[in-house]
Amino acid sequence: MGKNDFKSVDEYIGSQPEAVQATLAAVRAAIQRALPRAEETLSYKIPAYKLHGEAVLYFAAWKRHFSLYPAGARLAAAFQDELGTAQVVNSTLRFALSEPVPVRLIERIARFRAKEAASREKAKATAREKR
């Protein structure tokens, strides 16, 4: 198996340095609590959570941080007072691996993304009805 040929989120997390695995497990658990009906999968070779077939949140590990995707302008604005030292870079939230995992914040972000996806789905349904 190649370095990025993961078949599951468990394999993805297990491939990371031991010190990072607990962090990613906490991120995963927070997302799963917030999105209990989401399908957990891999997309773009990283963990993703889908609702109604649409990926609403991804996470990934890096050398010094873990990231949540996507973090558009609306999400960044909604959580700007809670992000602390997290950085928003190119629609990505970056959290330092050296800091505690902001579990409650991640749960709120996941629910926010789910609401955004539900709004898009509702708008699509309304547009189809008008045709």
| Total number of domains constituting the chain | 1
Q: For residue 3, is it within any domain?
A: no
- The domain of 68 spans 9-130
Q: For residue 42, is it within any domain?
A: yes
Q: For residue 1, is it within any domain?
A: no
Q: For residue 66, is it within any domain?
A: yes
The CATH number given to whatever domain includes residue 57 is 3.90.1150.200
Q: For residue 4, is it within any domain?
A: no
Q: For residue 121, is it within any domain?
A: yes
Give tens-digit pLDDT for 52-67.
Answer: 889 999 999 999 999 9
pLDDT over 90 at 98, yes or no:
yes
The larger pLDDT score, comparing residue 96 to residue 120, is at: 96
Whole-model pTM? 0.89
Alpha helices in 66-102 (DSSP H): 73-79
Q: For residue 19, is it within any domain?
A: yes
List of E strands, 1-122: 39-43, 46-51, 54-61, 65-69, 87-89, 92-96
Q: What is the H or E stretch that residue 65 is in?
A: strand 65-69
pLDDT over 60 at 29, yes or no:
yes
Share of the chain above pLDDT 70, in %: 98
Q: For residue 2, is it within any domain?
A: no
pLDDT over 60 at 1, yes or no:
no
